Amino acid sequence: MAESDTLLFTDNEWTFERIAVVTERIAEIAESELALDTYPNQLEVITAEQMLDAYASTGLPMYYPHWSFGKQRAIETGQYRRGEMGLAYELVINSNPCISYLMEENTMVMQTLVIAHAAFGHNAFFKNNTFFQQWTDAEGILDYLEFGKSYIAHCEEQYGIDAVSDVIDAAHALNRNGIDRARRPHKLSTREEDRQRRERAEFIEQHLSEIWRTVPGAAEAAITAQEDRFPGEPQENLIYFIEKNAPTLETWKREILRIVRKIAQYLYPQGQTKIMNEGFACFVHYHVMHSLHARGLIGDGALLEFYASHTAVTFQPDFDSRRYSGMNPYALGFAIFQDIKRVCLNPADEDRRWFAFAGDPDWLKQIHFAMREFRDESFVLQYLSPKVMRDLHLFALANDPKADAFEVTAVHDDQGYQYLRSALARQIAESARSPDIEVVAVNRWGDRHLHLKKMDSYPLDQAEAKRTLDHVARLWGYDVHLDAGDVVMIARAKASPP
Amino acid sequence: MSVIIDRRNLGTRSSANQDRLQRRVRGRVKAAVEKLARRRSLGDMLDTEQPIAIPTKDLHEPSFRRDMRDAAWEQVLPGNKEFRRGDRISKPHGGDTGDGGGSDGAGASDGLGDDEIAIVLSADEFLSVLFEGLELPNLRQTRTEDIQLDQWRRAGFVKEGSPSRMHIGRTMRTARARRMALRSRKKGELEELVRQAETLEEEIRIRQGYGEDTSIERFRLDEIREEIRVLERKIKAIPFIDESDLRFAHIDQQPRPVTSAVIFCVMDVSGSMGDIEKDLAKRFFLLLYLFIHRQYRSVDIVFIKHHGEAAECTEQEFFGAKEGGGTLVSPALELVEEIMADRYPAEHWNIYLAQASDGDNAQDDNRLVQERALALLPHLRNMFYLEVNQDQESALLRLYKSIAQDFPELMIARARRTEDIYPLFRALFTPRAGVPHG
């Protein structure tokens, strides 16, 4: 307490002035010590209720209204009230300016932590990670969300809330199959979007009549169908395909599909970089909080409070614990980023064998490289070290459905490290993907059915698939067939469209 | 580079989502509300917000997912303690490998464990669901003049009117204004003359001091004094009140809708009415009160208990009291008539009468009941008769049924169990449909 005159705060109440001062000091540390390049920050103070709102809509500041968000909120409110879930103390939006939410319930220490974590950690990650740079448009998203919301409000007015909801239900069902994984999406812009919308409406009509030209004679049809297969190649983006090619779908419904698809596309990188993104943000807040303390800007009490939250967030329960619910991305990501720094500054012989950069004194460069160039799968494959595997006591378990026991295929020992690392990377890659279902053919000259095929080898949940297919059929307007490997499922178009 | 914004005053934006959620499960919500209304006490329900459990399967959001239950998988887990490579761990029995399929992340996020969510209705939302689609069978409402009451209302002031409506304040104010207006000029003149007179008197005194002649001045002074006298007389002559000052309050006839209602709750508290019967009546009366309250700005309730004789009482006495003796219904109706005449004239109030009884009326009283009912009915919006816990229709019920032939605003229902009340209530107030008249 000798240096209490330098402390930014002594009691734990937050004020706007304190937040401003703290943010300034953190910005200074982030720049001078971590060389972080960030979007301008917009810090928004909100209530717990508003935080629950934000949760319900994937953290987006505005979203079209839909019952599923109401459901999500009801679930989370219930858990929150029952004390099963603490509200994450941070929520941040990949936008320029970068919006971070500060909950009013937070203490000043927590606000400091959140600012370091979200407004600098996540912010820098959004701005610099290649995957985010290529796949999302932080400049345009707020505008685009506004456009989507008002367009859908307009549809609700014109076509009724229930009709709009039906389309969104169907689009949400295909959400994870509405993403371009191999192609970089176009920039989002409201004005552009509005202008293009009209062009699209006209284009779709022409284009559609191309595909759906008047049916020729039946005999001829059989030949034509073989010769001129449509689509030429299987299409993985189901929403996009339906949006462009559904024979009778009204234009406004196509627009809604497009809005849902665009937002899913924008959110896609977040699911692909959860471990890295959280890990990096934890790495940043950990550094910043210590630096603030070392500079005498926060007291010992504040540091202790920080440790309590930090440990809670980066805690990894054991697989046999009641609290276990999978790998904690905060824990794994933080452990790996801290480990990169350790391998640079304080490498063991083992690390020198594993990592070419071991002993590089410029640890910051290595951290930045790791943060920029990877996504979860490749990040784990590249950086998961034997030390981290040992610390987490990782092991691999395999299930053969025919056997009566699980088998331990690897543990954290010399024989197991490589195996564990690739197994974990594979697991991360798979969990981030939905079943690979693609459009392989459209029956153009006959009953117009849409033919889908499951392209991967994992078994499909058939009850789910059945209900999802019903949604597809509703949009497509005609029957939909799904070749799921061992079974072909057919969804009938219930009401034939006008 | 950082901007800090206080968003707390923006409130939540969940209402649109909440609306759509309720819309999505309206069937469920309605069923749940009706179930609550059948079982629990309505008073309790209105005190707190009502959480209604909705099974999440109703709100299922399907998607293409993997089914890893019978698939081969491999998973990396944290927290190894004693396992070595090659160890085999028996699968749990029951064929279900539990969360084993966790390599699919989607399963985990959906399997939050709870299979129900709570939709919370405010008291108002609760009531609007409860009474959705119901209408007051306000049979006489079709004649619009009935719900309007011509009322005399003040409408400014006029110069003519009957002395009883003279507005003293206004009149005095007008008179004072007139007096001031007429006086001020003369007062000015008067002051001027007084000053001249004083000057002259002064001059006369001076001249006399020098021994000069003052006859002209004296003459002039007499003239001025005369003028002063005349003026003073004129000022005095300004009347305190002139006829033109009189103002009368003007009143005009203007129609005004009657926005208050009164419910007369009449209950038999004779020995045969036990707690169950009273509970049935209480539920019915409360529902009725809530329903009618949605139509009017304010609703009064008058409780009348009766056995051999009738008395007005408090709510506690009404539902608490258990008295004995034979039953006579007509005194209760008579009391209603008296109270109406005294406090709730029909032209100022929307009057409802709800009666609950086991129908066990003294045989020779029914004729009196008929007389009273026929006299009352023209003044009532509706009369409800709830017969509780009887195997057979009582003579009283049959009497009411025959009256209802001519007065459809008399509505009759029978209930045996708590669960009956809400459905019969719905039946009573569902437009056009089964109003059980006979």
CA neighbor of A131 nearest in space, from A71, A184, A55: A184
Q: Computed from CA positions of residues B48, B53, B54, B56, in that sequence, does the dihedral angle turn out positive or negative?
A: positive
Q: Is B285 exposed, middle or buried (0-12, 13-18, 19+ CB in 10 A)?
A: buried
CB contact under 8 A, B63 and A174: yes
pLDDT in tens, A4-23: 568 888 888 899 999 999 99
- Predicted confidence band at B143 (pLDDT cuts at 50, 70, 90)? very low
The C-alpha angle with vertex A279 and arms to A141 and A301, in degrees rounded to 5, equals 110
- Taking only the tens place, the pLDDT of each residue in A149-175 is 999 999 999 999 999 999 999 999 999
Name which residue leads in pLDDT, B325 or A39: A39
Q: Which residue matches tokens 């717990």? A: A48
Does B82 touch chain A if contact means CB atoms closer than 8 Å?
A: no
Q: What pLDDT is stored for residue B35 in this prediction?
A: 78
Nearest CA in chain A to B8: A46
pLDDT of residue A188: 63
Which residues lie closer than 8 Å to B51 by C-beta, 6 or more apart? Answer: B118, B119, B120, B121
Q: What is the pLDDT of residues A331-383, one digit of tens each?
A: 999 999 999 999 999 999 999 999 999 999 999 999 999 999 999 999 999 99
Q: Where are the domains of chain B?
A: 11-60+107-132, 168-246, 258-429
User: Which member of A401, A461, A471 has the closest CB to residue B66?
Assistant: A461
Q: What is the pLDDT of residues A233-284, one digit of tens each?
A: 889 999 999 999 998 899 999 999 999 999 999 999 998 999 999 999 999 9
Q: Give tens-digit pLDDT for A399-428.
A: 998 888 999 999 999 999 999 999 999 999
In terms of pLDDT, which residue wins out, B352 or A496? B352
In Å, how far are A310, A319, B264, B266 from A323, measured between CA atoms? 17, 8, 60, 60
pTM of the model: 0.70
Question: Are β-strands A395-399 and B73-77 bridged in parallel, bridged antiparallel, or unpaired?
Answer: antiparallel
Structure tokens at B207: 């001249």
Lowest mean pLDDT among B7-11, B165-169, B184-188, B351-355: B7-11
Rounded to 5 degrees, φ, ψ at A47 are: -90, 170
Question: CB-based contact (8 Å) between B93 and chain A?
Answer: no
For residue A123, pLDDT beyond 60: yes
Ranges of H-type helices in B246-348:
275-293, 315-320, 330-343
Q: Is the pLDDT of residue B381 over 90?
A: no
Contact list, B97 vs chain A (CB under 8 Å): 399
Q: Are A463 and A432 in contact (CB under 8 A)?
A: no
Q: Give the per-residue pLDDT at B151.
A: 58
- The conformation of residue A478, written as its DSSP 8-state character, comes to S
The residue ranking higher by pLDDT, B343 or B15, is B343
- Dist. CA B151–CA B203, nearest whole Å: 72
Residues in chain B within 8 Å Cβ distance of A321: 79
**Tens digits of per-residue pLDDT, A22-32?**
999 999 999 99
Q: Looking at this protein, which amino acid is placed at residue A460?
A: L
Pairing of strands A437-442, B116-121: unpaired
Q: At B80, give phi and psi (nearest 5°).
A: -65, 140
Closest residue by Cα to residue A101 from B109, B10, B16: B10
Neighbours of B218 (CB within 10 A): 13
pLDDT of residue B308: 81
> Cα–Cα distance between B73 and B104 in angstroms, integer?
10
Q: What is the C-alpha to C-alpha distance for residues B254 and B153, in angstroms, rounded to an integer?
A: 6
A93 touches chain B (CB under 8 A): no
- Residue A40: is its pLDDT beyond 90? yes
Helix then strand count (H, E) for chain B reads: 14, 13
Counting Cα atoms < 13 Å in the Cβ hemisphere of B266 gives 29
* ipTM reported for the complex, 2 dp: 0.84
Query: What's the pLDDT tens digit per position in B180-230?
Result: 888 888 888 889 899 988 988 888 888 888 888 888 888 888 988 999 999
Minimum Cα–Cα distance from A272: chain B residue: B105
Please give, rounded to a whole number of angstroms, the shortest distance from the CA of A136 to a CA of chain B: 22
**Dist CA A450 CA A469 (whole Å):** 11
As a whole-number percent, the residues of chain A with pLDDT over 70 amount to 89
- For chain A, the structural domain boundaries read 16-129+273-307, 314-431, 447-498
First to last CA, chain A: 78
H/E stretch holding A60 reads none
Per residue in A436-465, pLDDT (tens digit) is 999 999 988 888 899 999 998 888 999 999
Task: Give the pLDDT score at B37.
Answer: 74
Structure-token pair, residue A93? 């939006």
- Domain B258-429 sits in CATH 3.40.50.410: yes
CA distance A209 to chain B (A): 30
B59 and A67 in contact by Cβ < 8 A?
Answer: yes
- For residue A207, count other CB atoms closer than 10 A to its CB: 13
> For B92-124, what is each residue's pLDDT tens digit?
765 444 444 333 333 333 333 357 777 777 777
DSSP 8-class letter at A119:
I
Sign (positive/negative) of CA torsion A253, A258, A261, A267? negative
Task: Band the pLDDT of A208: cuts 50, 70, 90.
Answer: low
Measured distance CA(A129)–CA(A372) in Å, rounded = 4
Alpha carbons A461 and B63: distance in angstroms, whole number: 9
Distance CA B272, CA A374 (A): 83
d(C-alpha A383, C-alpha A367), whole Å: 11
> Each residue of B305-345: pLDDT tens digit?
888 888 898 887 877 767 777 788 889 999 999 999 998 88
- Return the closest-CA partner of residue A122 out of A100, A106, A89, A150: A100
Return d(Cα B76, Cα A408) in angstroms, integer.
10
Which chain B residues are Cβ-neighbours of A458 within 8 angstroms?
66, 68, 71
